[in-house]
Chain A
Amino acid sequence: MEPADFPRVRRAFESDYVVNAPIGSGDRKIASVVAQTGLGKADLILGRRDAWARSAMARRETWDHPRLGDVWALSLEDLILAKLEWSEGVSELQLRDCANLLRTNAATLDWSYLERHARVLGVDEILARLRAASS
Protein backbone atom coordinates (compact mmCIF):
# COMPACT_ATOMS: atom_id res chain seq x y z
CA MET A 1 0.00 0.00 0.00
CA GLU A 2 1.04 3.61 -0.44
CA PRO A 3 2.49 5.25 2.70
CA ALA A 4 0.07 8.14 2.23
CA ASP A 5 -2.82 5.70 2.77
CA PHE A 6 -1.58 4.59 6.18
CA PRO A 7 -3.35 7.30 8.24
CA ARG A 8 -6.64 6.32 6.60
CA VAL A 9 -6.05 2.66 7.46
CA ARG A 10 -5.16 3.61 11.02
CA ARG A 11 -8.39 5.58 11.44
CA ALA A 12 -10.46 2.75 9.99
CA PHE A 13 -9.01 0.08 12.28
CA GLU A 14 -7.88 1.71 15.49
CA SER A 15 -11.12 1.34 17.43
CA ASP A 16 -10.93 -2.45 17.36
CA TYR A 17 -7.29 -3.10 16.52
CA VAL A 18 -3.85 -2.07 17.65
CA VAL A 19 -2.30 -0.39 14.64
CA ASN A 20 1.48 -0.50 14.79
CA ALA A 21 3.19 2.49 13.22
CA PRO A 22 5.47 1.69 10.27
CA ILE A 23 9.03 0.68 11.08
CA GLY A 24 11.93 0.37 8.67
CA SER A 25 13.06 2.74 5.98
CA GLY A 26 12.88 3.35 2.25
CA ASP A 27 10.85 0.68 0.50
CA ARG A 28 11.15 -1.68 3.46
CA LYS A 29 8.55 -0.15 5.77
CA ILE A 30 6.19 -2.49 7.53
CA ALA A 31 3.25 -1.80 9.82
CA SER A 32 0.89 -4.24 11.45
CA VAL A 33 -2.68 -4.47 12.63
CA VAL A 34 -3.44 -6.71 15.62
CA ALA A 35 -6.93 -7.57 16.81
CA GLN A 36 -7.58 -6.48 20.39
CA THR A 37 -8.77 -10.01 21.07
CA GLY A 38 -5.25 -11.24 20.28
CA LEU A 39 -6.49 -13.52 17.51
CA GLY A 40 -5.64 -12.11 14.12
CA LYS A 41 -2.84 -10.01 12.72
CA ALA A 42 -2.10 -8.47 9.36
CA ASP A 43 1.19 -7.02 8.19
CA LEU A 44 1.08 -3.94 5.97
CA ILE A 45 3.93 -3.44 3.50
CA LEU A 46 4.27 0.22 2.60
CA GLY A 47 5.64 1.91 -0.45
CA ARG A 48 7.34 -1.04 -2.06
CA ARG A 49 7.76 -0.45 -5.81
CA ASP A 50 10.60 -2.70 -7.00
CA ALA A 51 10.13 -5.01 -9.98
CA TRP A 52 9.29 -8.07 -7.92
CA ALA A 53 6.73 -6.23 -5.76
CA ARG A 54 4.99 -4.91 -8.89
CA SER A 55 5.03 -8.37 -10.43
CA ALA A 56 3.65 -9.98 -7.27
CA MET A 57 0.75 -7.54 -7.23
CA ALA A 58 0.07 -8.15 -10.92
CA ARG A 59 0.04 -11.93 -10.40
CA ARG A 60 -2.13 -11.94 -7.26
CA GLU A 61 -5.27 -14.00 -7.46
CA THR A 62 -8.78 -13.49 -6.14
CA TRP A 63 -10.21 -16.17 -3.96
CA ASP A 64 -13.52 -16.72 -2.20
CA HIS A 65 -12.33 -17.37 1.35
CA PRO A 66 -14.88 -19.42 3.33
CA ARG A 67 -14.75 -17.04 6.31
CA LEU A 68 -13.51 -13.75 4.88
CA GLY A 69 -15.25 -13.62 1.50
CA ASP A 70 -13.39 -12.25 -1.52
CA VAL A 71 -9.70 -11.82 -0.80
CA TRP A 72 -6.56 -11.28 -2.83
CA ALA A 73 -3.84 -13.89 -2.42
CA LEU A 74 -0.23 -13.97 -3.56
CA SER A 75 0.68 -16.59 -6.12
CA LEU A 76 2.58 -19.53 -4.71
CA GLU A 77 5.84 -18.43 -6.34
CA ASP A 78 5.53 -14.94 -4.88
CA LEU A 79 4.66 -16.32 -1.46
CA ILE A 80 7.86 -18.37 -1.51
CA LEU A 81 9.91 -15.35 -2.62
CA ALA A 82 8.35 -13.21 0.11
CA LYS A 83 9.16 -15.81 2.74
CA LEU A 84 12.72 -16.23 1.50
CA GLU A 85 13.28 -12.51 1.58
CA TRP A 86 11.53 -12.06 4.91
CA SER A 87 13.62 -14.82 6.48
CA GLU A 88 16.84 -12.91 5.73
CA GLY A 89 18.33 -16.39 5.65
CA VAL A 90 17.93 -16.88 9.39
CA SER A 91 14.23 -17.40 10.19
CA GLU A 92 13.93 -21.14 10.68
CA LEU A 93 10.15 -20.91 10.55
CA GLN A 94 10.09 -19.11 7.19
CA LEU A 95 12.81 -21.29 5.68
CA ARG A 96 11.07 -24.45 6.80
CA ASP A 97 7.79 -23.15 5.33
CA CYS A 98 9.62 -22.57 2.04
CA ALA A 99 11.11 -26.05 2.12
CA ASN A 100 7.65 -27.55 2.65
CA LEU A 101 6.07 -25.45 -0.09
CA LEU A 102 8.82 -26.36 -2.56
CA ARG A 103 8.62 -30.04 -1.70
CA THR A 104 4.85 -30.30 -1.99
CA ASN A 105 4.52 -28.15 -5.14
CA ALA A 106 7.75 -28.89 -7.01
CA ALA A 107 5.97 -30.24 -10.08
CA THR A 108 3.79 -27.19 -10.69
CA LEU A 109 5.97 -24.24 -9.70
CA ASP A 110 7.14 -21.71 -12.29
CA TRP A 111 10.82 -22.25 -11.57
CA SER A 112 12.11 -19.74 -14.13
CA TYR A 113 10.03 -16.99 -12.50
CA LEU A 114 11.19 -18.05 -9.05
CA GLU A 115 14.85 -18.13 -10.02
CA ARG A 116 14.74 -14.84 -11.92
CA HIS A 117 13.34 -12.87 -9.01
CA ALA A 118 15.32 -14.79 -6.40
CA ARG A 119 18.52 -13.56 -8.08
CA VAL A 120 17.40 -9.95 -7.88
CA LEU A 121 16.26 -10.32 -4.28
CA GLY A 122 19.55 -11.99 -3.31
CA VAL A 123 17.97 -15.23 -2.17
CA ASP A 124 18.97 -17.40 -5.13
CA GLU A 125 21.57 -19.44 -3.26
CA ILE A 126 19.13 -20.33 -0.49
CA LEU A 127 16.46 -21.17 -3.08
CA ALA A 128 18.90 -23.45 -4.92
CA ARG A 129 19.78 -25.32 -1.74
CA LEU A 130 16.14 -25.71 -0.75
CA ARG A 131 15.30 -26.89 -4.26
CA ALA A 132 18.07 -29.46 -4.24
CA ALA A 133 16.89 -30.76 -0.88
CA SER A 134 13.26 -30.96 -1.99
CA SER A 135 13.86 -32.96 -5.16
Chain B
Amino acid sequence: MPVSSASTRSSLDFALRPPDAGQLALDERVRRSTPSERAEFAYQMRRQALVMVNHAADEAGPMSELDRAEFILRRLYPEFSDQQLAFIRADLARREAAGRWTGFTRPG
Protein backbone atom coordinates (compact mmCIF):
# COMPACT_ATOMS: atom_id res chain seq x y z
CA MET B 1 0.00 0.00 0.00
CA PRO B 2 1.47 3.38 -0.95
CA VAL B 3 2.28 5.55 2.02
CA SER B 4 2.49 9.29 1.78
CA SER B 5 5.73 10.90 2.91
CA ALA B 6 3.67 13.08 5.24
CA SER B 7 2.32 9.97 7.03
CA THR B 8 5.77 8.46 7.34
CA ARG B 9 7.22 11.71 8.62
CA SER B 10 4.55 12.28 11.25
CA SER B 11 4.69 8.69 12.56
CA LEU B 12 8.46 8.75 12.71
CA ASP B 13 8.46 12.16 14.35
CA PHE B 14 6.15 10.74 16.98
CA ALA B 15 8.47 7.79 17.59
CA LEU B 16 11.48 10.11 17.75
CA ARG B 17 10.06 12.24 20.52
CA PRO B 18 12.08 11.99 23.73
CA PRO B 19 10.63 9.42 26.13
CA ASP B 20 8.47 10.84 28.89
CA ALA B 21 8.97 10.07 32.57
CA GLY B 22 6.54 7.15 32.45
CA GLN B 23 8.37 5.52 29.56
CA LEU B 24 11.74 5.98 31.28
CA ALA B 25 10.37 4.40 34.45
CA LEU B 26 9.02 1.48 32.41
CA ASP B 27 12.39 1.12 30.61
CA GLU B 28 14.16 0.96 33.94
CA ARG B 29 11.75 -1.62 35.31
CA VAL B 30 12.19 -3.77 32.21
CA ARG B 31 15.98 -3.41 32.36
CA ARG B 32 16.06 -4.60 35.97
CA SER B 33 13.77 -7.58 35.34
CA THR B 34 14.68 -11.11 34.38
CA PRO B 35 13.14 -12.51 31.17
CA SER B 36 10.67 -14.54 33.25
CA GLU B 37 9.67 -11.47 35.23
CA ARG B 38 9.17 -9.55 31.97
CA ALA B 39 6.99 -12.33 30.58
CA GLU B 40 4.85 -12.32 33.71
CA PHE B 41 4.62 -8.52 33.61
CA ALA B 42 3.53 -8.65 29.95
CA TYR B 43 0.89 -11.27 30.82
CA GLN B 44 -0.47 -9.16 33.66
CA MET B 45 -0.56 -6.09 31.40
CA ARG B 46 -2.52 -8.04 28.79
CA ARG B 47 -4.97 -9.21 31.47
CA GLN B 48 -5.33 -5.64 32.66
CA ALA B 49 -5.94 -4.45 29.09
CA LEU B 50 -8.67 -7.08 28.69
CA VAL B 51 -10.36 -5.89 31.89
CA MET B 52 -10.15 -2.25 30.79
CA VAL B 53 -11.51 -2.94 27.32
CA ASN B 54 -14.39 -5.01 28.74
CA HIS B 55 -15.16 -2.17 31.11
CA ALA B 56 -15.18 0.24 28.16
CA ALA B 57 -17.57 -2.11 26.33
CA ASP B 58 -19.89 -2.13 29.36
CA GLU B 59 -19.77 1.66 29.47
CA ALA B 60 -20.59 1.88 25.76
CA GLY B 61 -24.05 0.47 26.44
CA PRO B 62 -26.00 -2.56 25.22
CA MET B 63 -24.73 -4.26 22.10
CA SER B 64 -24.84 -7.71 20.55
CA GLU B 65 -22.12 -10.20 21.48
CA LEU B 66 -20.75 -9.90 17.95
CA ASP B 67 -20.55 -6.11 18.21
CA ARG B 68 -18.97 -6.47 21.62
CA ALA B 69 -16.40 -8.92 20.24
CA GLU B 70 -15.47 -6.51 17.46
CA PHE B 71 -15.35 -3.60 19.94
CA ILE B 72 -12.89 -5.58 22.08
CA LEU B 73 -10.75 -6.88 19.23
CA ARG B 74 -10.38 -3.42 17.67
CA ARG B 75 -9.00 -2.09 20.92
CA LEU B 76 -6.87 -5.04 22.01
CA TYR B 77 -5.38 -5.64 18.57
CA PRO B 78 -5.37 -2.35 16.66
CA GLU B 79 -3.08 -3.88 14.06
CA PHE B 80 -5.94 -6.00 12.69
CA SER B 81 -7.08 -4.85 9.26
CA ASP B 82 -10.78 -4.36 8.50
CA GLN B 83 -10.53 -7.47 6.31
CA GLN B 84 -9.22 -9.58 9.19
CA LEU B 85 -11.87 -8.25 11.57
CA ALA B 86 -14.60 -8.97 9.05
CA PHE B 87 -13.37 -12.56 8.76
CA ILE B 88 -13.29 -13.00 12.54
CA ARG B 89 -16.75 -11.52 12.89
CA ALA B 90 -18.14 -13.83 10.21
CA ASP B 91 -16.50 -16.84 11.86
CA LEU B 92 -17.90 -15.92 15.29
CA ALA B 93 -21.34 -15.36 13.72
CA ARG B 94 -21.26 -18.88 12.28
CA ARG B 95 -20.28 -20.32 15.66
CA GLU B 96 -22.98 -18.28 17.39
CA ALA B 97 -25.62 -19.51 14.93
CA ALA B 98 -24.48 -23.08 15.56
CA GLY B 99 -24.66 -22.56 19.32
CA ARG B 100 -20.91 -22.95 19.72
CA TRP B 101 -20.11 -19.38 20.79
CA THR B 102 -21.97 -17.09 23.17
CA GLY B 103 -19.56 -14.21 23.37
CA PHE B 104 -16.09 -13.56 24.71
CA THR B 105 -15.67 -14.62 28.30
CA ARG B 106 -15.87 -11.67 30.68
CA PRO B 107 -12.74 -11.41 32.81
CA GLY B 108 -13.38 -12.48 36.37
Q: Which residues on A are within 8 Å of B, measured CB to CB? A: 18-21, 23, 32, 34, 36-39, 41, 63-67, 87-93, 95-96, 98-100, 103-104, 126, 129-130, 133
Q: How large is the interface on B (under 10, 10 to 19, 20 to 34, 35 or more residues)?
A: 35 or more
A92 close to B39 (CB less than 8 A): no
Q: Is B55 an interface residue (CB 8 A)?
A: no
Given A88-B1, A126-B12, A133-B16, A36-B39 contact (CB < 8 Å): no
A93 close to B78 (CB less than 8 A): yes
Question: Can you show 16 pairs from A to B with CB atoms below 8 A apart?
Answer: A18-B91, A20-B91, A23-B83, A37-B104, A38-B73, A38-B105, A39-B47, A41-B77, A65-B39, A87-B11, A93-B78, A95-B15, A96-B14, A99-B16, A104-B31, A129-B12
A37 CA to B104 CA in the complex, in Å?
A: 5
Total A-B residue contacts, Cβ distance less than 8 Å: 92
Q: Is B79 an interface residue (CB 8 A)?
A: yes
Main secondary structure of the interface of B (DSSP, over half): helix
Q: Which residues on B are within 8 Å of A, measured CB to CB? A: 1, 3, 7-8, 11-12, 14-16, 19, 23, 27, 30-31, 35-36, 39-40, 43, 46-47, 50, 69, 72-73, 76-81, 83-84, 87-88, 91-92, 95, 101, 104-105, 107
